[in-house]
Amino acid sequence: MSFENLLVNYKDKIAVLTVNRPENLNALNKQTIAELRACFLDLEANKNVRCIVIIGAGEKAFIAGADIKEFVTFSEEEGKTLAREGQEQLFNTIENLSTPVIAAINGYALGGGLELAMACHIRMVSDRSQLGLPEVTLGLIPGYGGTQRLAQLVGKGRAMEMITSANFIDGKQAYVYGLANSVVSASTLLMESLKLAIKIAGNSPLAVTAAIKAVNAGYKEGENGYEVEVDEFGKCFGTEDFKEGTDAFLTKRKPSFN
């Protein structure tokens, strides 16, 4: 598959997906959203890919938000469609992807860019990152799930402050808030993200997928996370990965999952 605004590189069992519109600080226009959806689904279907790392092209930004130039003339109805389709087609897809996704955030992750990072399973930031939801400065609110996911990650009070003030926080603050899993230097961000990806990729892919499903279930209305956990736990016992993992433990060797 080839894309106009994305690059995909493979290393061992890791796919590095680059949003490649540096002249617009990797802003998410309609085409990039559609390409990202297609790319994530394609990578999910590829059983050789055990973890995805998403980055932004250039040194300045991960993603500076939805493409303001594209929606500037939109009506109320078009605005609603933009948010709904974006959430359904891309942001929820990433969150529910069975392959784990790490956002490696160097530079700006703003608006839809931070919302995309928050839909990922794990976020790594650098000491040069700036994260924020500046939509209220445009007369908007976050539309790609930001009001919900930010509150889930940092708590309601901090989310309210970040969204209503439009203040940016740096990488260290994001780590303190629990918005970022780790903060590292900009020069080591990709390497550290790949190290984590390699660690994840060496584990049972079926168990990793089951874990994502169970954790996500706790945040979904109408689902009981504990019940989903019981179900997924039970299903693990019927897998080749379980046989391999337990056999490796008992015979004192490293497991190798297909």
Under the rule (CB under 6 A), what is the footprint of ligand CAA?
Answer: 24-25, 27, 64-69, 108, 110-112, 115, 134-135, 138, 140, 142-144, 146
Q: Closest distance between ligand CAA and the C-beta of residue 21, in Å?
A: 9
Q: Tokens representing 68?
A: 């303001």
Strand-pair category, 122-126 with 61-63: unpaired
Partners of 92 in beta bridges: none
Identified catalytic residue from 44, 115, 223, 227: 115
**Pick from 94, 102, 106: nearest CA to 198:** 102
**Closer to ligand CAA by Cβ: residue 39 or 61:** 61
Is residue 84 within 8 Å of residue 221, measured between CB atoms? no
Q: Closest distance between ligand CAA and the C-beta of residue 181, in Å?
A: 22
A 10 A CB-CB count for 80 gives 12
Beta strands of the chain (E only): which ranges? 6-11, 14-19, 51-56, 61-63, 101-105, 108-110, 122-126, 130-132, 169-170, 182-184
Place of tokens 């390497």: 191
Q: Closest distance between ligand CAA and the C-beta of residue 126, in Å?
A: 16
**Closer to ligand CAA by Cβ: residue 6 or 116:** 116
Kind and range of the H or E run holding 14: strand 14-19
**Closer to ligand CAA by Cβ: residue 95 or 232:** 95
* DSSP 8-state assignment for residue 66: B
Identified catalytic residue from 35, 44, 95, 135: 135
Is residue 155 within 8 Å of residue 112, measured between CB atoms? no
d(CA 207, CA 212): 9
d(CA 109, CA 252): 44
**Closer to ligand CAA by Cβ: residue 152 or 246:** 152
**Closer to ligand CAA by Cβ: residue 87 or 204:** 87
Mark whether 115 is an active-site residue: yes
Q: Closest distance between ligand CAA and the C-beta of residue 171, in Å?
A: 15
Mark whether 76 is an active-site residue: no
- The residues carrying an active-site annotation are 115, 135
